[in-house]
Amino acid sequence: MPRASYDVAAALHVLTTHRFVALTGAGLSTDSGIPDYRGPNAPARRPMSYQEFVSGRTAQQRYWARSHLGWSRMRRAVPNAGHHAVARLEHLGVLSTLITQNVDGLHEQAGSRRMHALHGRISDVVCLSCRERTTRRSLHDRLTALNPGFESRHGDVAVRPDGDVELADTRDFRVPSCDACGGVLKPDVVFFGENVPKDRVLRCYEAVEEADALLVAGSSLTVMSGLRFVRHAHKLGKPVVIVNRGATRGDPLASYRLDLGTSDFLPLVEASLVRR
């Protein structure tokens, strides 16, 4: 197939003359202080898998101790120029649907409404037994009460992309059970090794089919959960614009491939649309 175009003006023309779906990834939140897994300068990290999380109490202690510290910092993050541009593009009518791989909730804070959180939201908690859902804020308060002084003792740890931190010893960390049934609590996000709910995937496919083009912003497309929508758009003959710092797995399918930061590019789309 022909090589992707690197013409910024041509990519902007596509996005301002077509109703498009945006697929966003961790690279869109780096300017809000949340690191990504696979950016050009990202260190190697191995997130906890679903199988490891459900393996027993030790893994759950390790996850929640790290995540408790990470959440204290992540919840203070604010949307950047890229998030705000995405929300305004929706309100201007050119962005038909947002599909985000991010769990940080920054798109919602910026005002995006027609969206699918593909991997869930870190702000929600679910019981693996009774499926009762509660807020992360309420669990944070319970964890703080059960582990007094824990945050102050580990104030210098670095946050990781999925909202946890680097922390070696978590053996003494106390983890509460579900208030309703005593079951295991898990953040309502899709872990590595866990499948995205089928109905959510179907809604995303439908959004791609109804749109005229697909924009990928800030995702390396390393995992199939996002790459499948690029493949679907390409199969349907729709233009695919990929904007990301560094190579992506979807580059061979791109109509336009721009090695730019999302906080720089997305406001350009909005500005170009307003000028038309």
Query: Comparing 64 with 75, which gets the higher pLDDT?
Result: 64
The annotation places the binding site for Zn(2+) at 127, 130, 178, 181
- Of 142, 162, 189, the position where a domain reaches its end is 189
Binding-site annotation: residue ranges for NAD(+): 25-45, 101-104, 218-220, 244-246, 262
Q: Among the three residues 189, 219, 236, which one is the final residue of a domain in this structure?
A: 189
Res 1: pLDDT = 45
Which of 172, 189, 206 corresponds to the end of one domain? 189
Residues 8, 84: one domain?
A: yes
What confidence score (pLDDT) does residue 236 get? 97
Give percent of the chain above pLDDT 90: 76
Binning pLDDT at 50, 70 and 90, where does residue 38 land?
low
For residues 181 and 246, state if they share a domain.
no
pLDDT at 211 over 70: yes
What is this structure's pTM?
0.90
Residue list for the binding site:
25-45, 101-104, 127, 130, 178, 181, 218-220, 244-246, 262
Considering the domain architecture, whether residues 255 and 128 belong to the same structural domain is answered as: no
Active site residue 107: no
Range of the domain at 64: 43-76+122-189
Give pLDDT tens digits for 75-97.
889 999 999 999 999 999 999 99
Local confidence band at 152 (pLDDT 50, 70, 90 cut-offs): confident
Give the least confident one: 37-51, 155-169, 201-215, 225-239. Answer: 155-169
**Count of the separate structural domains present in the chain:** 2
What rounded mean pLDDT belongs to the chain? 90
Catalytic residue among 83, 84, 107, 119: 119
- pLDDT for position 45: 58
Position 274 scores a pLDDT of 80
Close Cβ partners of 251 (under 8 Å, ≥ 6 residues apart): 4, 242, 257
